[in-house]
Structure 1
Amino acid sequence: MVDALRTLEDEKEARVAVEKRLNDQIKMLEDTNRSLQEYNTSLQQYNCNLQADTAKNSMVETMNDLLKKVESLRMELQHAREDRDSKSAQVDSLTSEIATHIEITVNV
């Protein structure tokens, strides 16, 4: 009878030990799961930040391209104005020459 009680006690201790190990493993798995969830959240935030940076960089690149185009158009406009002013000066000079020539011709 004593042996039977001892066997029952040993089995009970073994079950308690197994239950404790299982509980420890469950706790460890829960901790691992929590850490993985935190890591996943961190990766998602990082991904969002990367996407925002990509969008921002794309906008900056577009802005730089537009600024270059604006500068190019300004230079074209400046050249067109200079060309217009030069042509206008030539017209004024030719008009003056013609007027002088007509005046000389009339006076002769």
Structure 2
Amino acid sequence: MTAQTTTSATFEQDVLKADGPVLVDFWAEWCGPCRMVSPVLDEIQSENSDKITVMKLNVDENPDLAMKYQITSIPAMKVFQNGEVATTIIGAKPKQALEQDLAEYLA
């Protein structure tokens, strides 16, 4: 199971109304570090699909959400829980570092 795509049209249903924690990866096609972190997030999703949902949001295609959540540099990952931002992670990191940042959701 890999990360799914969300958009302005589906964000409320996919993320804000989701049952468990949802990590949203704010990314863009032209962003090298975003492409580096993408397979890592896919791994985290497939290994922890029962605990967390990983969604990808293209900031170029959904500028309204990028602005709403004050995305100024990418990759930026935000974990939403109960419709609120619970955790923010900025920048590409190795898998182990991301898992540490997400430890409370993966336990």
Q: Report the TM-score range of the alignment, normalised by the length of the smaller protein.
A: under 0.3
| TM-score, L = length of structure 1 | 0.17
The structure, 1 or 2, with the larger RCO (C-alpha pairs under 8 Å, 6+ apart) is 2
| TM-score, L = length of structure 2 | 0.18
